[in-house]
Structures are given as C-alpha cells and as structure tokens.
Amino acid sequence: MPSKTALNPPKGECRQCWLHAYDSRAQHKHLGPREDCPECVAHMNGHPAHLIVR
C-alpha cells in the first residue's frame, strides 16, 4: 500500500507524478530493467489539469 506521503501531494503537484515518485517500486514493478514507464513519459511534456492538486 502506498505511503501517506505518496497519496497526499501538495497543492500544485500532479497526483500521478507524486505517486510514481514516492511509491516508485510498486508503481513500476511491471516494467523490465531499463524500461521507461509509459505513464511517466506521457507526463514529461505536461500534466493533465484534472491531476493537478488545487
């Protein structure tokens, strides 16, 4: 289960990016070694407005 920190990003942060940063092992366990996470890559050029904490 993700930590309280992983589930509670501060205002202005992306919920998905915050979760992937603070619960990285669990979120990326399905990836092979040296394989990029498609969800993380999709957010490198911007974050969907609905995922930003207001």
Q: What is the pLDDT of residues 1-54, one digit of tens each?
A: 899 999 999 999 999 999 999 999 999 999 999 999 999 999 998 999 999 999
The confidence score (pLDDT) of residue 54 equals 96
- Sequence-separated (6 or more) residues with CB below 8 Å from residue 29: none
The confidence score (pLDDT) of residue 3 equals 93
